[in-house]
Amino acid sequence: MARNTAMADTERRLGRYRLLDQIERDGDARLYRALDADGRSVILWTVPLACLCAAPSVEGDALERFRHMAAAAARLVHPAIPAVLASGEHAGIAFVATAPVEGPTLATRLKTGPVILEDSVATLDRVLDALGAAHRAGVVHGALDTKAIHRSGAAAMVTGFGRGALTASYANPRDDLDAARRLAERLLTDHADRPEVAALLARVRDDGTDAFPDAAALRCAVCELGKASAGPPAAPPRHDRHWPMWTIWLGGLALAGAGAAVVALHSPAPSPPLPQSEMQAAARSALSFPVPTTRRPPIAAVAQALRSVNCTLLTVEDVNGRLLVSGTVAGEQAGGAVRDTVGANAAGWDYGLDLVTADAQFCVPLDTVAAALDANRRLEMPLAATVTEGPALNAGDSLALEIRAPARPVVLQVDYFTIDGSVVHLLPNPSDQGTALAAGALRRLGGRAEGERRWTVGPPYGTEMLLTIATPEPLFPTVRPEQEQAADYLAALARVLASLPDDAPAPLATVRFITTGP
């Protein structure tokens, strides 16, 4: 009896996920509702590693293709694509975890009758825009149909991009385009009595790839259909504004998904037309007083507002006259707060969000050293830490660092926070008590020299955090154990930072996130 119970417990868990119920099965792939270690709901696609590795792939090794595609899917940032939160392999199972999506599928909606033309056009517009963004990022869906689309109209969501990494061995962008044309036929056929709809359906059926070589081309045709069906405008047309989708290239094999950039444009209602005499006077006035064209987005205001958002590590930039907010947030709640804050302070400017969502457990260390991070940002020559082999490391790789001191002598504390809630103290450590660093000096950790301390990557895998703190004197009077629970260390760290003298140089800190995989 005990043995059967243990087996049942194993079946209900996959690493840090607790499986609630199976909601779909497609060959070897299974779809579950699940909870992560923090109790948050996720959607989990799984495939046995043996089946994945046995599947042929046009791009060579199927396992490597899965890892590459899952990482690429995690970098997708689009309001119609649910975030890919994590991916990896555990206990012989490959998995992709995505954010859940509420609402019925389009397949369920179509069972009740045709979708009105306006909603059909809005659905296709949103789905094709998401598909185009995915293809530009090198991600193929592989199973686009009405069951993969939740809700309709301007709120449609395209699920299943993470699943494509597991099951779409042969899929390519052309397969997605064929599926998109079939979707267009399914939604528009009920409105073929309209001449403009019939003309578009004829092009979709007869010309196919020649007429629509990519998702953008089909989307343009659908948008024109929407304009035609709307009839003549009741007021002078307003110029469309195109909102950029920014992506950030933070590679990894088990990467939390990015938050999506959701932008709403609020325009005032059009004013009634002016009398001819007033229009001529306004035109002369406009010619007499040139309007300045050299404006800059409110970088400082947005950056200042974001300082009040906890659990974040962000950069605000001006990229070709548009705001770009990029960085890492610890937990989905922090990501939502960033989106709300940017939207409230962008002052009407175009903006993009490139947010990597790390585990919420990293919120506490980020907040503990928030003041030290802010002090370091203000320096012309700040404390800097670099992972020499890049931010993505695999099992067996060595963790090697280069740390450069600011323009003053400091003492270092270097900590590595793991995904399983522990912290490894890289410096000081049992074999290296040399924490002092001269102004501007470079210190290397984890090298291959004889007798030098080394650290290698091992399970569990995910997004992990490297924290480097610089102070005038050692933070702790005695060396802490090389590894301990993060909660215990963070409590001690908070007490030490709070006890530093007010007249002492401010502590400095820098954080790097690292993704690890098998």
Give me the pLDDT at residue 9, please.
40
Is the per-residue pLDDT at 472 higher than 60? yes
* Ranges 125-129, 252-256, 393-397: which has the least confidence: 252-256
Give me the pLDDT at residue 449, please.
57
Query: Of 43, 55, 46, nearest to 168 (Cα)?
Result: 55
Taking residues 475-497, what's their average pLDDT? 91
Is the per-residue pLDDT at 249 higher than 80? no
Is the per-residue pLDDT at 60 higher than 70? no
DSSP-derived secondary structure for 227-251: HHHH-S-SSPPPPP-PPP-------
In a 10 Å sphere around its CB, with 0-12 CB exposed, 13-18 middle and 19+ buried, how is residue 239 labelled?
A: exposed
Share of the chain above pLDDT 90, in %: 33
Is the per-residue pLDDT at 88 higher than 80? yes
Determine how β-strand 149-150 pairs with β-strand 157-158: antiparallel
Q: pLDDT class for 238, splitting at 50, 70, 90? A: very low
Q: In 235-311, where do the E strands start and end?
A: 258-259
Give me the pLDDT at residue 410, please.
95
Is the per-residue pLDDT at 254 higher than 50? no
- Would the pTM count as exceeding 0.75? no
117-136 vs 173-188: helix crossing angle, rounded to 10: 180
Q: pLDDT class for 354, splitting at 50, 70, 90? A: confident
The secondary structure element, H or E, covering residue 372 is helix 370-377
* Ranges 83-87, 170-174, 478-482, 504-508: which has the least confidence: 170-174
pLDDT tens digit sequence for 270-318: 444 444 444 444 444 433 334 344 567 888 899 889 988 889 988 888 7
pLDDT tens digit sequence for 406-440: 999 999 999 999 988 899 999 998 777 789 999 99
CA distance to 9, 232, 295, 368, 437, per residue, from 469 (Å) = 42, 63, 38, 11, 12
Q: Is 24 left (phi over 0), alpha (psi -120 to 50) or beta?
A: beta
Q: In 7-98, where do the E strands start and end?
A: 13-14, 17-26, 29-35, 41-48, 84-90, 93-98
| Alpha-carbon span 338 to 95, nearest angstrom | 28
Count other Cβ atoms within 10 Å, centred on residue 3. 7
| Alpha-carbon span 85 to 67, nearest angstrom | 14
Give me the pLDDT at residue 448, please.
61
Give me the pLDDT at residue 488, please.
92
| Alpha-carbon span 398 to 389, nearest angstrom | 8
